Structure 1
Amino acid sequence: MRKIDSRTIPWLSFLYLLAFLDRSSIGNAKLYGMETDLHISDTKYLLGLTIFFIPYAIFEVPSNVILKRLKPSVWLSVLMLLWGVVMTVQGLVHNYGGLMAIRFMVGTFEAGFFPGVNYYLSCWYKRSEFGIRAAVFFSAATVSGAFGGLLAAGLSKMEGVGGKAGWSWIFIIEGLVTVVAGAMSFWIIVDFPEDAGFLSEPEQVFVIRRLQGDAQFSAAGEKLRWKYIEQSLAEWKTYLSIIVYAGSDMPLYAFALFLPSIVSEARYSATPANLLTVPVYVLACICTCTVGFLADRYGNRGLWNFSCLCISAAGYIILISSRNATLSYIAVYLAACGIYPCIPNTVAWVSNNVEGTYKRSVSLAMVISWGNIQGAISSNVYRANQTPWYPLGHGLVLMYIGFGLISTLCLIFTLKTENARRDRGERDEVIEGTEGGSEKNGMFSSVNEARREKGDKWSGYRYTL
């Protein structure tokens, strides 16, 4: 397993660092005169942020299906190459129309990466192992927040080089690094367990059998059937999980895109504002990995979600009521420590409760895509006419956190209720040659057939709380 960790987690985390850096660096570029040079108003800038999330949400589900059909080493690498090229071109735009077109294309090509990697990792690890891996992978977003501020402060010093503004070089350099990383990924990213070239045949069998022993009966592979996609679309857990995820995803994007502006409006200039975001993200990274580890070790992912959302709510309550720059800066730490751990923990929670490789790929993509469309809302809630305290933006973020709290409790209750019904035998199938069960739950020739056909609906499957 250490061998698998070393071949999957570090490189994918680095790639996600680049992805989140590329997507959120526009917030850093804004501080170095991008709006003035492109002759755009605050409203147009917000629309430039918004348009990214439309294709980003639309293309996540089909991308995950394609990922399962193709090799991850091919599909994920192609996506990186394309968005790296587009990101580089973003540093060359001269007007509002160019910015809008580029942001749309960045959203299109980045769409499949985050849900794709999370689904890919879920095909390698047991349910009790996935949370910390998802947290370490996602912690790259917090590292990118810290690194992005430092990088933007450094690249802005290239003002005038090649006749380009400092903010242009932020996009160009970051885009070129992504292109190189995408090209290298063809050889570095490994494929699914059943065809991973870096494992021997006995090692492949070992990985698949330990997953099947963890109630992942489809780990050895399954053929694409439309019914798996239909099951995801008709699954009540998926839609409730969407609300849970949106309750932290909208605050995440609002936080990442506007943290530099929030800090700068507290009477700090551009470079100090970017640098002051660094320790916020460092602490968020530590909290994200800690929660991922503890949730794997002790379970109760729902309660961890609820606790983290309460911490972030406390931070935003302070931000709404505070009129002191130092107090607001302290509240930002609370907000970050509550929001960031919820994202990988929710992804792990969803993945833990869906059996079937195609069903899980679609369910994860649906949850993440509908959560990410909230980024279109978060891009418009921090208005320039509400500086320096942004009461509307903070209030709407707090509202979403409230949605997350309520839906988390509902999901815990419904999963617990369903597990109790299975414990009482209310979901037992009729198995040929054995007594008991109900025909309404299905009739099967063997337990293995029931597992294979019903997935997480099988009476012996227990949901993770």
Structure 2
Amino acid sequence: MALRDRSFSEHEQTQYIAGPSAQRVLSKPDSELRVHVHGEDHRMATNSAERPITKVGHTEEKRLRLKVDLHIIPPIAILYLFSCISRANIGNAKIAGLEEDLHLTGTDYNIVLTAFYTSYIIFRIPSTLLCKRLVIALGCGLLTLCTAVCNNIHTLCVVRFFFGLFDAGMLPGIAYYLARWYPRKEFGSRLSLYIVMAPLAGAFGGLLASGVLSLDHFGRFHRWRMLFMVDGIIFCGLSVVGFFTIFDSPLSARWLSKEEKDFVIGRVQSERPVSTEFLDDISFARSRRGIFNPVTITTGLIFLLINVTAGGLQFFAPTIVRTIYPDSSTVSQQLRPVPPYAVGAFFTILYPFLGWRLDRSNIFIILAALPIIVGYIMLLATQTPQIRWAALFFVASGVYPYGALCDAQISANVISDTARSAAIGTNIMLGTCGGLISIWMWLPRDSPKYRIGNGTNLATSSVALIVAVLLHLWVRFDNGRRNTREMSTAELAGLDQDQAQDQAQDLEWRHPAFRWKL
């Protein structure tokens, strides 16, 4: 599809994108969308009237957005699906003979998970800043294969440590990647289309595990080893295919025309009120602003608290189901988590979609905490299997939307490409710390009621709710403060006139033109 210059009918919705200080606004019926582009290699949206202008109507904008969706979302979603399956399959392997074959006792399983989370946390931000998604995916696939040949806790810990090193950049790297393609309002809903792979991985992983475990062997591999071999082979194959189908940014996408590239870049660039660069160089000042952005830190804290629950579901859902239905077969226990995961997948798409339509993320961050609280009250209040089983549906429906909602909220509150990568990496790193905490909330001695794990999750989800409400109130207060002339004067005073543009961009959220978005 080529974008073309033309006149617009009175029924078409059009918009202006006009440069560093541009705001996205609805114009008169006969207006048009303008994207200004400088240069052939280095492109930026500016307000210069001397450069070519691409005119795009509302209908063509929708067509181009769909084209981008179809080329971007499916390949990264499938890669992330198998990343999640590779990460969570150890939970299925646990009840399929892993502990017996490797002679794991006591808290050995928790130690194995800790080895994974150690590298998973340490390399979150570095992997995001320097990520190569396809190298990461191929490394994860190869290490999944290596898991199948581990013979003791020591080799298993080493393999899972390196798996965490590679996997650390997958989630924040893809979130950062999507932010290059979509403006703020659309980012959360598109992010949800790949983050939904986390609960779907639980559902699909359970189905895959039950199917694989129905086999007598896969080559010379038996029982839980078959899970990692099948998953690893598929993951490696998808990584190789992705090398030829995934492009780093609109600038390198061969399936976009020059006019389409200009338009996609302009849509994203129009929301950066003090930035002229689409892809900027790595800057310590901007990285620091992204990491220590108040919304980044606060949202990251919420994500940490919620991931205490998400980590428990990811690695212990089959174990929890076994305590609810101890007399069921192993295959049946692998299948039981599938329906709650499917419900979680539905809400993972629903909440961010509503956030996109309403242009609000934080309200759904607040609402999503409520079913989690209800679910853990149910788990603590009774040992009736049917009620405890129903509680998992409540928990899953609230937990899984947070990945898309939190990343969308953070991405909307940074300006430069560098700050966005650092901010998203910080959020995911803090969330991963929650997963590490969750490992030690589910100990064998607390089985089968797991009061420590359930009680901790009730507390963390309640605190997350309170923090989200306080963040909402603070943003409203600070935006009001930013509307005062005193702050504008104070923040820009003393800038070096010769370097004013670069220094203004480095201010990020401290620039007086900036306003928080929730």
Normalising by structure 2, what TM-score?
A: 0.83
**Superposed, which structure 2 residues align to 1:150-229 within 5 Å?**
150-215=207-272, 217=275, 220-229=278-287
Distance 1:163 1:180 in 2: 21
> What is the CA distance between 1:51 and its match in structure 2?
1.2
1:318 is aligned, of 378, 401, 423, to 378
Q: For the structure 1 residues 91 and 387, does the alpha-carbon distance in structure 2 shift closer, same or farther, using more than 3 Å as the test?
A: same
The answer for the alignment partner of 1:355 in structure 2 is 415
The answer for the alignment partner of 2:510 in structure 1 is 457
Distance 1:98 1:181 in 2: 26
The answer for the alignment partner of 2:349 in structure 1 is 289
1:261 is aligned, of 301, 319, 334, to 319
Paired amino acid for 1:332? L
Distance 1:399 1:103 in 2: 29
Structure 2 residue matching 1:31: 3-state secondary structure: helix
* Residue 26 (1) aligns with residue 90 (2): yes
Q: For the structure 1 residues 168 and 427, does the alpha-carbon distance in structure 2 shift closer, same or farther, using more than 3 Å as the test?
A: same
> What is the CA distance between 1:211 and its match in structure 2?
1.5
Distance 1:442 1:164 in 2: 66
Paired amino acid for 1:45? Y
* Residue 327 (1) aligns with residue 387 (2): yes
Distance 1:180 1:13 in 2: 15
Question: Is the contact between residue 190 and residue 198 of structure 1 (CA under 8 Å) also seen in structure 2?
Answer: no
1:395 is aligned, of 439, 455, 465, to 455
**Superposed, which structure 2 residues align to 1:267-306 within 5 Å?**
267=325, 268-306=328-366
2:300 is aligned, of 226, 235, 242, to 242
Q: For the structure 1 residues 214 and 59, does the alpha-carbon distance in structure 2 shift closer, same or farther, using more than 3 Å as the test?
A: same
> What is the CA distance between 1:30 and its match in structure 2?
1.0
* Residue 36 (1) aligns with residue 93 (2): no
Structure 1 residue matching 2:278: 3-state secondary structure: coil
Paired amino acid for 2:317? L
The answer for the alignment partner of 1:96 in structure 2 is 153
Question: Is the contact between residue 211 and residue 219 of structure 1 (CA under 8 Å) also seen in structure 2?
Answer: no
Question: Is the contact between residue 119 and residue 360 of structure 1 (CA under 8 Å) also seen in structure 2?
Answer: yes
5+ long unaligned stretches in structure 1:
68-74, 430-436
The answer for the alignment partner of 1:140 in structure 2 is 197
Q: Computing the radius of gyration over CA atoms, which structure comes out larger, 1 or 2? A: 2
Question: Is the contact between residue 442 and residue 453 of structure 2 (CA under 8 Å) also seen in structure 1?
Answer: yes
Bigger shift: residues 258-267 or 115-124: 258-267
Q: For the structure 1 residues 26 and 328, does the alpha-carbon distance in structure 2 shift closer, same or farther, using more than 3 Å as the test?
A: same
5+ long unaligned stretches in structure 2:
1-64
> What CA deviation, in whole Å up to 9, does each residue of 1:346-376 have, x standing for no partner?
1110111111110110111011112102222
> What CA deviation, in whole Å up to 9, does each residue of 1:31-78 have, x standing for no partner?
1111001111141011111211111111121112213xxxxxxx1111
The answer for the alignment partner of 1:416 in structure 2 is 476
2:127 is aligned, of 48, 54, 63, to 63
Paired amino acid for 1:320? L
Paired amino acid for 1:15? L
The answer for the alignment partner of 1:70 in structure 2 is none
1:127 is aligned, of 180, 184, 194, to 184
Q: For the structure 1 residues 439 and 257, does the alpha-carbon distance in structure 2 shift closer, same or farther, using more than 3 Å as the test?
A: closer
Distance 2:494 2:293 in 1: 16
Distance 2:306 2:108 in 1: 26
> What CA deviation, in whole Å up to 9, does each residue of 1:63-121 have, x standing for no partner?
12213xxxxxxx11111111111111101111111111111111011011100000110
Structure 2 residue matching 1:33: 3-state secondary structure: helix
> What is the CA distance between 1:449 and its match in structure 2?
6.6
Distance 2:386 2:486 in 1: 57
Distance 1:239 1:161 in 2: 46
> What CA deviation, in whole Å up to 9, does each residue of 1:327-363 have, x standing for no partner?
0000110000011112210111011111111011011
1:4 is aligned, of 63, 68, 74, to 68
Question: Is the contact between residue 427 and residue 441 of structure 1 (CA under 8 Å) also seen in structure 2?
Answer: no
Measured on the aligned residues, the alpha-carbon RMSD in Å equals 2.0
Normalising by structure 1, what TM-score?
A: 0.92
Distance 1:76 1:311 in 2: 34
Q: For the structure 1 residues 219 and 309, does the alpha-carbon distance in structure 2 shift closer, same or farther, using more than 3 Å as the test?
A: farther
> What is the CA distance between 1:447 and its match in structure 2?
9.9
Q: For the structure 1 residues 218 and 397, does the alpha-carbon distance in structure 2 shift closer, same or farther, using more than 3 Å as the test?
A: farther
Distance 2:401 2:389 in 1: 20
Q: For the structure 1 residues 438 and 320, does the alpha-carbon distance in structure 2 shift closer, same or farther, using more than 3 Å as the test?
A: closer
Distance 2:242 2:197 in 1: 17
Q: For the structure 1 residues 136 and 249, does the alpha-carbon distance in structure 2 shift closer, same or farther, using more than 3 Å as the test?
A: same
Paired amino acid for 2:379? L
Residues paired across the two proteins, number: 451
Distance 1:447 1:462 in 2: 20
Question: Is the contact between residue 243 and residue 403 of structure 1 (CA under 8 Å) also seen in structure 2?
Answer: no
